[in-house]
């Protein structure tokens, strides 16, 4: 579905938007009036189901198959979203992977894959989007509360990739501040997603709130950062984890 001339909807692109936090972001952005493109790597059935769900609710969504480990695919996804919806106002970079392993067992392939997607892919997604964003546009990355004051054995690579995103956001925010483009990082704690499948009860027991977070709660923060009230906040990492790292 293309936005017609005169349609005042803003346009958002969510990298890694077919499930979990990404899907929640797609739904919330659409509910708030955005036309939303999102990328996925596998499970086209899940991606199309999300497009249909958004459409039934009166919104417009576009699923784009793109691997965030592939620089050309990242650029093509941005171009496709812009061409389909006629512009771009907000970018959410949620694509990321988790591979666990102690420092003596992580393979070079696993190391390179996490760096390629969790760090390089984030940077390249932002870089590709910048020429299309208007002054006052919004960029939101999805990090992790493991980037600050917490962690667990076997997560060293994932942790440093998310710490890198938190640092990256600060520098990019300064680059784009003259254009009024805000750049912020959301750092979720344990959330009820596929990534934590099988560990929900254990994580809930460790949480000060005795539960894990819901994807919709992260989606709500993303929507706020993409909205008009967040224009003066930039370069920040906002941790939303039920008090896990207080």
- Which residues are designated catalytic? 158
CA 118 to chain centre: 10
H or E element, residue 30: helix 20-31
Pairwise CA distance, residues 216 & 38, whole Å = 17
CA 167 to chain centre: 16
Beta bridge partners of 34: none
141 and 185 in contact (C-beta within 8 Å)?
yes
H or E element, residue 215: helix 215-226
59 phi, psi to nearest 5 deg: -105, -175
């Amino acid at each position: 579905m293309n936005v017609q001339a005169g349609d005042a909807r803003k346009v958002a692109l969510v990298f890694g938007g077919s499930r979990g936090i990404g899907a929640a972001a797609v739904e919330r952005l659409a509910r708030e009036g955005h036309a939303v493109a999102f990328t996925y790597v596998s499970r086209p059935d899940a991606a199309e189901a999300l497009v249909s769900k958004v459409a039934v609710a009166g919104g417009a969504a576009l699923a784009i198959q793109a691997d965030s480990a592939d620089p050309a695919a990242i650029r093509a996804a941005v171009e496709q979203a812009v061409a389909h919806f006629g512009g771009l106002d907000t970018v959410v970079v949620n694509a990321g992977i988790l591979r666990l392993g102690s420092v003596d067992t992580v393979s070079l392939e696993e190391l390179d894959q996490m760096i390629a997607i969790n760090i390089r892919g984030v940077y390249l997604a932002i870089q590709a989007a910048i020429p299309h964003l208007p002054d006052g546009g919004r960029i939101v990355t999805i990090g992790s509360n493991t980037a600050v004051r917490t962690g667990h054995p076997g997560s060293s690579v994932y942790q440093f990739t998310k710490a890198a995103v938190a640092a990256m956001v600060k520098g990019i925010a300064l680059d784009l501040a003259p254009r009024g483009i805000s750049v912020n990082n959301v750092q979720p704690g344990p959330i009820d997603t596929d990534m934590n499948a099988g560990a929900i009860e254990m994580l809930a027991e460790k949480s000060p709130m005795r539960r894990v977070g819901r994807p919709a709660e992260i989606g709500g923060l993303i929507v706020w950062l993409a909205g008009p009230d967040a224009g003066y906040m930039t370069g920040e990492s906002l941790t939303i984890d039920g008090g896990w790292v207080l």
